[in-house]
Amino acid sequence: MAPVIRELNRQASVFEQLVVATAQHREMLDQVLSLFAIRPDIDLGLMQHDQDLVSFASRSLLQLSHLLTDVMPDAVLIQGDTTTVMAAALAASYHGVCIGHVEAGLRSFDRNEPFPEEINRRVTGCLADLHFAPTERARLNLLREGVAEDSIFVTGNTIIDALKSIPLEGAFEDAALNRIAFASARILLVTAHRRENHGAPLRSICRALKAIVERFDDVAIVYPVHLNPNVGSVVRDELAGADRVHLIKPVSYQDLLRLMDRSHLILTYSGGIQEEAPSFRKPVLVLRQVTERPELIEVGGGKLVGTDTTRILNEATVLLTEPVEYERMRSAQNPFGDGHAAERIVYELAEHLCRPRKPIPAARHRSYRPVLSELAATNRVLSHQAVSESAVPAPIDVAMCNVDD
C-alpha cells in the first residue's frame, strides 16, 4: 500500500487520507513502515501473542467498526488478502462506506491453499465497490464471479511500484548476510513458512534442500527461517549443521530484495516473491500445488513444484545444469506491472468519487497527475457531505485500513 499512500499524499488537494494500522503482524509492519517513512495516523495495536484467526478477526472487526463510526470516510482502501483486509471490508460494508480493494481478483480456487488468504479474498471481492486488479487474469476471475465490469480496473500490482523505489546497493543490514560469499557460490534463496507446509511437507522441502547442496558443491542456500516454532523446529532438525546452508533470522524487506537480486535461483511459497522475482530476472520454483499468481507460470518465469523431495531436487537440478533452460526462465518479462499501479489506482478512485465515469485513457501507463490537478482546480472534488454554498471543494476522506499487508 505504500506507493498508494505516497500518491495520495501528492494529491493532498483532492484527498485527505487517514492511514490506519491494525498491527496484525507487528514486527513485519514496523520495519516496512520505517523503510517507506510511513507513520500511521491511527495504530490500533491489535496483535496479541500466539493469537488465532478467530480472536484477531473479531477484535479487528469491532475496532475498525468503532473507527468508521467516528471518522465516516468517503472511502476505505484495503490491499491484499490478510484478515485485516477482510475485517475492514466487512466493517466498511456494514457502515455503507465505499470500498476499494487493491490487488483484487487473485484466486487459487482452493480455499485451503493459501489459507485463510483465499477465503479473505473471496469475502472481500463480494463486498468491494472498486476492484483494482493487478492483471487481466484477475479481472476475468472477478467477471466470472459476477462483479460488474465497470467496477474493475486493471492497474498492475503496487508491489512493483514499491520495489522500484527501494535502493539495493551496498551492504546488507543483517551482518550475517555480509559474511556469505555471494561471489564464489550460486546462492539459492529459500522461503518456506506457510501453515499449509507445516509438518511433513516442510520436512520434505528441507530434505530436498540438503540433497541439492550435497549434489552441487558450488551451491549455497540462504534460508531466512520464520519465528514460528512450527517452522523453526523442523528446519533446524533437518538442516542445522548442513554444509553451505545458512539458516538466518527473518530479514528486513530491503534485505530480502537484496537477496533476490544477488541470488541465482529462488525457491518459495511467497506470493509477493512470485511477483517480484521476474523484475530481478531470477527463476522461481514455487513450493506449492496451486498458485493464485499463475501469470508467473504462464510467462515461463516460474514452475509449480510442490513439496515432494524428489520433484524439488529434479527441477532444481535442471536449472543448475542446463544453461538454456535457466536463461529461458530468467528472460521472462514481469507480468505483474510496470511501476505505475498507484497512479492508476488514485486516478480511478478520483474518477469514481469526484465526477461521473468517463472512458479510461488508452495510454494507461501515462501519469494521471495532471487530470487530478484539473479535478481540484475545477472544484469538482466532492465528499459525501453536501457541497457548501461557497463552492470550496471538500477533500475526499480516504481511510487506509491495512498498511499491515
pLDDT digits (tens, 9 = 90+) for 170-195: 999 999 999 998 999 999 999 997 77
- First-to-last CA distance in the chain? 8
% of the chain at pLDDT higher than 70? 86
Lowest mean pLDDT among 42-46, 235-239, 340-344, 385-389: 385-389
Average pLDDT over residues 263-281: 96
- Flag whether pLDDT at 336 surpasses 70: yes
Query: Whose CA is closest to 274, among 292, 248, 289, 247?
Result: 292
Spatial CB neighbours of 402, under 8 Å, sequence gap ≥ 6: 1, 20, 21, 22, 24, 78, 79, 80, 82, 84, 85, 88
Q: Which of 6, 59, 74, 103 is catalytic?
A: 103
117 as an active site residue: the answer is yes
Residues 361 and 271: their CA atoms lie apart, in Å, by 30
Q: How many residues does the chain have?
A: 405
Tell me if residue 103 is catalytic.
Answer: yes
Bridge partner list, 266: 189, 284
Active-site residue, selected from the candidate residues 193, 194, 244, 258: 193
Catalytic residue among 113, 117, 161, 343: 117
Give the angle 370-153-396 at the CA atoms, nearest 5°. Answer: 55
For residue 384, the tally of other CB atoms under 10 A from its CB is 15
Q: Residue 125 carries which side chain, given as an amino acid letter?
A: G
Task: Express each pLDDT in 96-107 by its tens digit.
Answer: 999 999 999 999
Q: Is the Cα torsion angle 42, 251, 333, 192 positive or negative in sign?
A: negative
Nearest 5°: phi and psi at 147?
A: -70, 135
Contacts of 271 (CB under 8 A, 6+ apart): 106, 114, 291, 292, 293
Which member of 7, 74, 81, 404 is catalytic? 81
Q: Name the H helices within 104-183.
A: 117-127, 136-144, 158-164, 175-178
- 226 classed as catalytic: yes
Task: Please give the pLDDT value at position 23.
Answer: 75
The active-site residue, picked from 25, 203, 226, 369, is 226
Helix axes 200-215, 309-321, angle to 10 degrees: 30
Q: Which domains does the chain have, with CATH numbers?
A: 2-157+337-400 (3.40.50.2000), 175-330 (3.40.50.2000)
User: Is the torsion defined by CA of 153, 159, 162, 167 positive or negative?
Assistant: negative
| Residue 395 scores a pLDDT above 80 | no
What pLDDT shows up at residue 360?
A: 41
CA dihedral 225, 231, 232, 234 (to 10 degrees): -120
150-163 residue pLDDT tens: 999 999 999 999 99
Catalytic residue among 10, 195, 203, 366: 195
Query: Which residue carries 482452493 as its cell?
Result: 110
CA distances, 349 to each of 77, 99, 129, 378 (Å):
10, 10, 11, 17
377 C-beta neighbours (distance < 10 Å), count: 11
Q: Known catalytic residue: 193?
A: yes
pLDDT tens-place string over residues 278-303: 999 999 999 999 999 999 999 999 99
82 contacts 101 by C-beta, under 8 angstroms: no
**Global pTM value:** 0.86
| CB neighbour class for 267 (10 Å; exposed up to 12, middle 13-18, buried from 19) | buried
Tens digits of residue pLDDT in 49-85:
778 899 999 999 999 999 999 999 999 999 999 999 9
> Which backbone phi and psi does 134 adopt, to 5 degrees?
-75, -25
Count the Cβ atoms, other than its own, within 10 Å of residue 355.
Answer: 13
Q: How confident is the model over 330-357, as a mean pLDDT? A: 90
